[in-house]
Chain A
Amino acid sequence: MSTIKLEHVTKVYPNGAEAVTDLNLEVADGEFTILVGPSGCGKTTALRMVAGLEEITDGTIEIGERVVNDLSPRDRDIAMVFQNYALYPHMTVAQNIGFALRLRKLPKEEMQSKVREAAEILGLTEHLNRKPAQLSGGQRQRVAMGRAIVREPAAFLMDEPLSNLDAKLRVQMRAEVSRIQRRVGVATLYVTHDQTEAMTMGDKVAVMRAGRLQQIDAPQTLYDKPANLFVAAFIGSPAMNLYQANVDEQGHALRLGNQQLDLPERLRAERSIGSYRGKEVVVGIRPEDLTDAAVAGEDGVGRRLEGTVDLVEALGAEKLVHFDIDARRLQSTDVGMGAEEDETEGLGSGEIAEAMSAGVARVPPTSELRPDQKAVFLVDAERMHLFDPESGEALG
């Protein structure tokens, strides 16, 4: 049985900075768990603590039902794939893959057969005698994977292993890594800042922000029922539209600027809306939950949202309509994705801030909306999300 279990794990650096706070996380045998969040959220630190490359300030880490807090990396029975691969440049591909086995003093025959087997899985058989310098980016990535799988460890740790590949190769390797992980069947903790990777690869996704775990769930659950504003804004591309709104005194409708949306039965329930009657909330609507009323061909009283089209992106299968409405949009800083993040890193806060500066609707390609036109969108009210504006917690 191979599992990874983190209980109340905390990391405080000597300078007092708290990188990870009270992290609880469990990766079951054979499970693929993704740790995702903007850069600087503590996800890599968490992974390095599991690997033993970083000391733990508080809490316990178990690998395969064994507390490993005080074990050195070599005694933890783990394999790790690094962001920049860290291949041994002076060794051939075969030596790179077999390095761990050589350290374990495995008989030569057995070692060679294991290396060959791993190479076969990864399609590296022809390159076994080459040095890393002679390989392409994708091949190097595979060697890094090979070094991990040949070990048959209790746990796999992967630190953004695909982030250095070009876009096309990344999509291809995404599927491949998932396939290999399923084939090897080892508990895997995978760190990424790319929410698409998180959604597509993981059995479970753990979203982290500023050292704290925000939510851990299956990707679809995370998407459908985000626990708070941060998760709602971080997961999904284009990001969820978030607006400030007021609940009416009866708790039956929302006011966005001078427009009104009826609340669905689900959200009218006492336990969700009760204390918010007449108060402010944040409403979240996913782009695909907005339809072009002209295409739908119905009036949709109580679930109409009017706006001005700003830009239309035709993607073939669908159109992304960017629009402005006269409701106060929630800024990225309101969600806690502001200054602390590095905007240069891929799908980080930068993109979210951009996406939230205007509303986005995902409409059928038959829609004839054009820039500067008035548009009416129908809201799928059942799939609307409400959040507390102070705590960011989801209501309902």
Chain B
Amino acid sequence: MPHGWALVREFIFYLLVLIVIAISLFPFYWILRTSLMSNAQVAQGVGGSNGLLPSHLTTKAYVDDFTKQHFLKPLVNSAIVALIATAITIVVATMAGYALARLKIRFSGAILAFILIAGFFPVLAMVGPLFLLFKELSLLNNIYPLILAYLVYTLPIATWLLRNFFAQIPAELEEAALVDGATRLQALRKVVVPVAIPGVFTAAILAFILAWNDFTFAVSFLETPDKFTAPLAIVNFGQSAFQVFYNRIDAAVVIITIPIALLVLFAQRRIVSGLTAGSFR
């Protein structure tokens, strides 16, 4: 048992932790709170029976999202776009990252630097040129070309991430596979990628989140509501002639947060460092 000062220090430590948690979780709480209220309640503002914990809660906003706002279609659109973008990103970035980590390529340092810059290039600066390009190619108002736009920034980041993961894997591991009778591609698929699985998952989550959360490209390239992705659809929830349905907006926000939360929770188990333990020495 800690005594005296140690006890005080421990108390202060946990108090600070609590404050940080409260600050970072409060917006989420407020969204959740609003999503569980009726629109009339929201309109009343905060106070009375409508405090930090409202006296009356309802799931009506969630039901309305699917019945009145037709939120299912944008959700499906978002899922299609994000999943395909993630899949393509992982396949291409794995091979590119592996090549950059292992093969003796001229100017590979410069290539890497360029990839990193491309990954952090401002999205807004890309919207204009891409819009003109998509217009010329008649790719506007279609969710599938949107995937291409997402690859523009998911690929560089995933490639860079995976290259660094592969570079950490000892070359002997693949050499052992090559001697055991594997082709380069088999060695990559059966030995290198499984060993680098934490990196692959990290890259996949990153790519998925980037694509799933995108608003900029979606708002620029999509026109009709049947093509909208979820974030874009949410913005339009409020645009009724007479009122803004904050409860529906917040319910939708909760809904689109769920896949991300699940993904991170699921992947957390996979992202265990030290997976190569026991391979060497």
- A: residues with CB less than 8 A from B are 51-53, 72-74, 78-80, 82-90, 99-100, 103-104, 131-135, 137, 140, 147, 151, 157, 164
Which residues of the other chain, A, contact B275 by a CB distance below 8 angstroms? Answer: 89-90
Q: Which residue of A lies closest to B279 (CB)?
A: A89
Assess the B181–A104 pair: CB atoms within 8 A.
yes
Bound-state Cα–Cα, A72 to B187, Å: 13
Assess the A132–B179 pair: CB atoms within 8 A.
no
Assess the A103–B180 pair: CB atoms within 8 A.
yes
Interface flag for B194 (CB, 8 Å): yes
Bound-state Cα–Cα, A89 to B178, Å: 16
Interface flag for B223 (CB, 8 Å): no
Assess the B182–A103 pair: CB atoms within 8 A.
yes
Tell me how far the C-beta of A47 lies from the nearest C-beta in chain B, rounded to whole angstroms: 11
B170-187 to A contact mask, C-beta < 8 Å, 1/0: 101101111111110010
B189-221 to A contact mask, C-beta < 8 Å, 1/0: 011001101000000000000000000000000
Assess the B180–A147 pair: CB atoms within 8 A.
yes
Which residues of the other chain, B, contact A74 by a CB distance below 8 angstroms? Answer: 178-183
Which residues of the other chain, B, contact A103 by a CB distance below 8 angstroms? Answer: 180-182, 186
Interface flag for B5 (CB, 8 Å): no
Which residues of the other chain, B, contact A51 by a CB distance below 8 angstroms? Answer: 175, 179
Bound-state Cα–Cα, A85 to B176, Å: 9
Bound-state Cα–Cα, A256 to B170, Å: 53
- 7 of the cross-chain contacts (CB-CB < 8 Å) are A72-B178, A78-B179, A88-B194, A100-B180, A104-B181, A132-B278, A134-B278
Which residues of the other chain, A, contact B176 by a CB distance below 8 angstroms? Answer: 80, 82, 86-88, 147
Assess the A99–B177 pair: CB atoms within 8 A.
yes
Assess the A88–B279 pair: CB atoms within 8 A.
yes
Which residues of the other chain, B, contact A151 by a CB distance below 8 angstroms? Answer: 180
Tell me how far the C-beta of A114 lies from the nearest C-beta in chain B, rounded to whole angstroms: 14
When A53-B175, A99-B177 are in contact, do A86 and B279 touch as well, CB less than 8 Å?
yes
Interface flag for B137 (CB, 8 Å): no
Which residues of the other chain, B, contact A100 by a CB distance below 8 angstroms? Answer: 180-181
Q: Which residue of B lies closest to A133 (CB)?
A: B278
Assess the B172–A84 pair: CB atoms within 8 A.
yes
Interface flag for B277 (CB, 8 Å): yes
Q: Which residue of A lies closest to B186 (CB)?
A: A103
Assess the A89–B179 pair: CB atoms within 8 A.
no
Q: Which of B177, B186, B195, B281 is close to A85, meaning CB atoms less than 8 Å apart? A: B281
When A133-B277, A134-B278, A135-B278 are in contact, do A86 and B178 touch as well, CB less than 8 Å?
no
Which residues of the other chain, B, contact A133 by a CB distance below 8 angstroms? Answer: 277-279
Give 6 new A-B contacts, CB below 8 A, not counting A80-B176, A88-B191: A53-B175, A74-B180, A86-B175, A90-B197, A133-B277, A140-B281
B-side interface size class: 20 to 34
Which residues of the other chain, A, contact B178 by a CB distance below 8 angstroms? Answer: 52-53, 72-74
Assess the B280–A90 pair: CB atoms within 8 A.
no
Bound-state Cα–Cα, A84 to B170, Å: 10
Which residues of the other chain, A, contact B183 by a CB distance below 8 angstroms? Answer: 72, 74
Interface flag for B276 (CB, 8 Å): yes
Which residues of the other chain, A, contact B197 by a CB distance below 8 angstroms? Answer: 90
Q: Which residue of A lies closest to B193 (CB)?
A: A90
Which residues of the other chain, A, contact B181 by a CB distance below 8 angstroms? Answer: 74, 100, 103-104
Q: Which residue of A lies closest to B194 (CB)?
A: A90
Bound-state Cα–Cα, A89 to B277, Å: 7
Assess the A99–B180 pair: CB atoms within 8 A.
yes
Assess the B182–A87 pair: CB atoms within 8 A.
no
Which residues of the other chain, A, contact B177 by a CB distance below 8 angstroms? Answer: 88, 99
Assess the A90–B186 pair: CB atoms within 8 A.
no
Tell me how far the C-beta of B191 lies from the nearest C-beta in chain A, rounded to whole angstroms: 6
Which residues of the other chain, A, contact B277 by a CB distance below 8 angstroms? Answer: 89, 133
Q: Which residue of B lies closest to A157 (CB)?
A: B179
When A89-B279, A134-B278 are in contact, do A82 and B172 touch as well, CB less than 8 Å?
yes
Assess the A88–B173 pair: CB atoms within 8 A.
yes
Q: Which of B173, B182, B186, B190 is close to A86, meaning CB atoms less than 8 Å apart? A: B173
Which residues of the other chain, B, contact A137 by a CB distance below 8 angstroms? Answer: 281
Q: Which residue of B lies closest to A159 (CB)?
A: B172
Which residues of the other chain, B, contact A86 by a CB distance below 8 angstroms? Answer: 170, 172-173, 175-176, 279-280
Assess the B279–A73 pair: CB atoms within 8 A.
no
B260-281 to A contact mask, C-beta < 8 Å, 1/0: 0000000000000001111111
Tell me how far the C-beta of B47 lies from the nearest C-beta in chain A, rounded to whole angstroms: 58
Tell me how far the C-beta of A61 lies from the nearest C-beta in chain B, rounded to whole angstroms: 15
Tell me how far the C-beta of A163 lies from the nearest C-beta in chain B, rounded to whole angstroms: 10
Bound-state Cα–Cα, A5 to B195, Å: 36
Q: Which residue of A lies closest to B175 (CB)?
A: A53
Which residues of the other chain, B, contact A147 by a CB distance below 8 angstroms? Answer: 176, 180
Which residues of the other chain, A, contact B276 by a CB distance below 8 angstroms? Answer: 89
Assess the B278–A89 pair: CB atoms within 8 A.
yes
Q: Which of B179, B190, B194, B279 is close to A87, meaning CB atoms less than 8 Å apart? A: B279
Bound-state Cα–Cα, A85 to B180, Å: 13
Bound-state Cα–Cα, A134 to B278, Å: 7
Bound-state Cα–Cα, A100 to B181, Å: 6
Tell me how far the C-beta of A247 lies from the nearest C-beta in chain B, rounded to whole angstroms: 51
Assess the A85–B279 pair: CB atoms within 8 A.
yes
Tell me how far the C-beta of B180 lies from the nearest C-beta in chain A, rounded to whole angstroms: 4
Contacting residues of chain B (51-90) with chain A, CB-CB under 8 angstroms: none
Assess the B278–A131 pair: CB atoms within 8 A.
yes
Bound-state Cα–Cα, A87 to B276, Å: 9
Most chain A CB neighbours (cut-off 10 Å) among B170, B180, B191, B279: B180
Q: Which of B172, B179, B191, B280 is close to A73, meaning CB atoms less than 8 Å apart? A: B179
Bound-state Cα–Cα, A89 to B173, Å: 9
Q: Which residue of B lies closest to A74 (CB)?
A: B181
Q: Which of A53, A72, A85, A157 is close to B280, meaning CB atoms less than 8 Å apart? A: A85
Bound-state Cα–Cα, A70 to B4, Å: 74
